[in-house]
Amino acid sequence: MVEPRVKYNAFREKRREAGYSEEDLKESYGFLLFEDTNQANALSETGVLPGNSTCTTLGDPSKGVYISMYSDCLDLNRWYHGKSGYIAIIRLTKGRVKRVLENYTQKFTAPTVEFDCHMSEQFPSVSSKTSSFLAFERTQYYMYELLDDGRNVLTQSPSAACPIAIVSFSYTDTKATLEAPKEKRYSLQQLAYVKFL
């Protein structure tokens, strides 16, 4: 099995040779939430695998991967006091991105030839007032890798997503401050470790 970092660098070089612009090749980061340490740590060997999400609005999860744009939109539900887990930090080259309508039918949106990633057309509408459910769905990258001029989809980890670190966390309710005694405040507190992959 090829290491995710080697696949990632090869993907970038291949796309550069194919004439992708510097904007297409611009690197960014995405995030994934795990409750189990073994699943999180397996990313260093497997990369992000298709079927990693129950989200289906941007494409078939068995043909690509869903990765959150933001570390505070990692779950369909709001976090609660005592929630803990692991956040994987993923280095991304989104490549050519197509904005698509969210699809809530069982006829999934197919990966688009000459593109590497889908994102929601509704992304600009996300604000602090958006429900956690919609914020999660509208801030996803759906990444896939087409082979053979688009006739087939790579069903393994897309080369454009490279896991680089795992952070453990615990979400806690902090004490109210003197300035705002009735206001609840929340914070993410890092626990055990940061593991670089």
Given this model, what pLDDT does residue 187 score? 45
> What is residue 119's predicted lDDT score, i.e. its pLDDT?
97
Backbone φ and ψ for 46, nearest 5 degrees, come out as -95, -20
Q: What are the sequence ranges of the domains in the chain?
A: 4-196
* Of 118-132, 138-152, 162-176, 183-197, the least confident: 183-197
pLDDT number for residue 188: 47
Whole-angstrom CA distances from 19 to 13, 16, 107, 159 are 10, 5, 32, 17
The pLDDT of residue 183 is: 45
CATH code: domain 4-196 is: 3.90.228
